[in-house]
Chain A
Amino acid sequence: MYAFEMLVKRYQDKVYGICFRFIGEHHEAFDCTQDTFVKIYQKIHSFKHLSSFGTWVYRIAVNTCKNRLSCWDFMRKKKTMYLGNSGANIENHFISPAQQYEKTRISEIVQNAISKLPFDQKQIVILRDIQQLSYEEIEKITNLPLGTVKSKLSRARSKLKELLKDIKHEL
């Protein structure tokens, strides 16, 4: 159990980051992260070293998010979900409150833009541009060939380019 606790501590930020970007809400992301680690604990014996352990962990996280997003309960909740505070909870004491506010606002706008993408594009953008994983890792996590990953990423970026047009001018 102690070893597993160490493992959770090591991957919690990455997994929570992925879940948050997929789900777009802290409470649901917390539940999703929790479910991911419970699944990892239950299936840890089925890890076959075909990829790195991290890749395997992210793959479970992505699948958990996918299930959560397609869940009827979540779809219903999403309609009433509080969209505020979807920015990352970052407390940086070296920047002013105004800068902090601005950062949070931008983060919320980006998050809203990401949430408008279809799942297959969203997962590639999150894994590549936000989590900055390699193409090889993304291939293993998503089970998609490199060509598909590249084309989906290209389409996702084009969409985001349009969605974030206004904010880019502010920067």
Chain B
Amino acid sequence: MNCREVQRILSDYLEGLVSDLQKKEIEQHLQMCQKCQIELDEMKKTVKLLRSIPSPQAPEKLVESVMEKISAEKPRKRKFAFLLTAIAFAEIIVFVALFKIQKPVQIVYQPETHVKITQKHQEEKKPEIVKNKPVSRVKEKKNAIVSGEKTPEQVRTEIVIQLAYLPQPQMTFAKRNSEKEIGANVLEQQKPAEVSLLDQGMKKETSVEKKSQEIVTSLAAKSAGIPAPAEKLSVESEIIKYITDAGGKILSASPASDIEVSYVFVAEIPASSYKNFLDNLAGKFQIKNYDLIKDAAVSETFITIRLQIFR
């Protein structure tokens, strides 16, 4: 063995990990080589030094701190698990809701120019016009024509009612707006708390735009017994009144940017009070194809209506 070979396995020799033959050869070499002998002594000293340094003792608070950390980790884990469960449930609900929305056939009545009747199947179809007038203001999802083939469970109804206000010389739009402001002012001055409560009840799950809020407020003021003469209500207020009287819920109310349509309401009305609601509307407004809408076969508890007020 030469010096290089000996020094390579010197560490193993110290540990007694070499074979008997290697051990003999190393010892023979060490007797002849002073350099390797010094290397061996240095190595022994190094190992001795490393083994002599005291091992630090763990701080006293370590156990306590570890146990605290473990205890703190546990609720976080539970919280995370709860969060995951909540997300999973939310996803299931959304999935079911989407499935329910997509599957049913939707009927929207559209008599001539004012009322559109469409049907929605699972696969989207191009809008099919029932009558001559183009279906420019109908939602994208209203696709086909009336179909009586589907079972009530498969049908979900949204009726588009297009209204033309019967012109009254004393009730111009400008005047109506000013009256609306008056109504709101009266409300603010007299019974703000009651209005707020009524307002909340009425729009529990809906987001109504600012203007519609004002309208609802004025109606609420009326319901709360605040003097606000019925004849002073605007067209929009009147419609809201009819909807609420029929036990309906306003889903959205917004001014339309259309040339012909001034305002659009989307509301849910109980099927039982649907005919009365239409009758009430007919007394004040001109409803196109009133008979067709009135006799629409309704198989649900609630009907979604889309009211379009024509200028």
Interface residues of chain A, those whose CB is within 8 Å of chain B, are: 1, 4-5, 8-9, 12-13, 15-17, 20, 26, 29-30, 33-34, 37-38, 41-42, 88-90, 103, 106-107, 110-111, 125, 129-132, 135, 150, 153-154, 157-158, 160-161, 164-165, 167-168, 171
Please measure, in the bound complex, the distance between the C-alpha atom of A171 and the C-alpha atom of B52, giving whole angstroms: 12
User: Are A88 and B11 CB-contacts (below 8 A) given A34-B69, A129-B51, A161-B43?
Assistant: no
Would you give 15 A-B contacts (Cβ < 8 Å), ordered by A? A12-B62, A16-B59, A16-B62, A17-B55, A26-B56, A30-B59, A33-B58, A88-B54, A88-B55, A90-B57, A106-B53, A107-B53, A110-B53, A158-B43, A168-B46
- In B4-59, the 8 Å CB interface with A consists of 7-12, 17, 42-43, 45-47, 49-51, 53-59
Please measure, in the bound complex, the distance between the C-alpha atom of A119 and the C-alpha atom of B48, giving whole angstroms: 21
Nearest Cβ on chain A to B71's Cβ, whole angstroms = 8
Closest 4 CB pairs of A and B: A154-B11, A88-B56, A16-B58, A129-B50
Nearest Cβ on chain A to B203's Cβ, whole angstroms = 48
Shortest Cβ distance from B7 into A: residue: A158
Chain B residues in 8 Å Cβ range of A125: 50
- Contact yes or no, A110 B66, CB < 8 A: no
Selected contact of B49 from candidates A16, A30, A167, CB within 8 Å: A167
User: Are A160 and B50 CB-contacts (below 8 A) given A38-B69, A150-B12?
Assistant: yes
Chain B residues in 8 Å Cβ range of A161: 42-43, 46
In the complex, whether B197 has a CB less than 8 A from a CB of chain A is no
Shortest Cβ distance from A114 into B: residue: B50
- In B57-74, the 8 Å CB interface with A consists of 57-59, 62-63, 65-67, 69-70, 73
User: Are A154 and B12 CB-contacts (below 8 A) given A88-B56, A129-B50?
Assistant: yes
Chain A residues in 8 Å Cβ range of B70: 1, 4, 37-38, 41
Shortest Cβ distance from A41 into B: residue: B70
- Contact yes or no, A90 B56, CB < 8 A: yes
Chain B residues in 8 Å Cβ range of A37: 66, 70
Please measure, in the bound complex, the distance between the C-alpha atom of A37 and the C-alpha atom of B11, giving whole angstroms: 34
Selected contact of B58 from candidates A13, A107, A129, A168, CB within 8 Å: A13
Please measure, in the bound complex, the distance between the C-alpha atom of A8 and the C-alpha atom of B58, giving whole angstroms: 11
Selected contact of A154 from candidates B9, B54, B56, B58, CB within 8 Å: B9
Chain B residues in 8 Å Cβ range of A89: 56-57
Chain B residues in 8 Å Cβ range of A107: 53-54
Shortest Cβ distance from A35 into B: residue: B69
Nearest Cβ on chain B to A159's Cβ, whole angstroms = 10
Please measure, in the bound complex, the distance between the C-alpha atom of A153 and the C-alpha atom of B14, giving whole angstroms: 12
Please measure, in the bound complex, the distance between the C-alpha atom of A107 and the C-alpha atom of B53, giving whole angstroms: 6
Nearest Cβ on chain A to B1's Cβ, whole angstroms = 15
Chain A residues in 8 Å Cβ range of B73: 38, 42
Please measure, in the bound complex, the distance between the C-alpha atom of A164 and the C-alpha atom of B47, giving whole angstroms: 11
Chain A residues in 8 Å Cβ range of B62: 8, 12, 16, 30, 33-34
- Contact yes or no, B54 A150, CB < 8 A: no
Chain B residues in 8 Å Cβ range of A34: 62, 65-66, 69
Shortest Cβ distance from B50 into A: residue: A129
- Contact yes or no, A130 B58, CB < 8 A: no
Nearest Cβ on chain B to A170's Cβ, whole angstroms = 11
Chain B residues in 8 Å Cβ range of A20: 56
Selected contact of B54 from candidates A30, A90, A131, CB within 8 Å: A90
Selected contact of B63 from candidates A5, A130, A154, A167, CB within 8 Å: A5
Please measure, in the bound complex, the distance between the C-alpha atom of A8 and the C-alpha atom of B67, giving whole angstroms: 9
- Contact yes or no, A154 B66, CB < 8 A: no
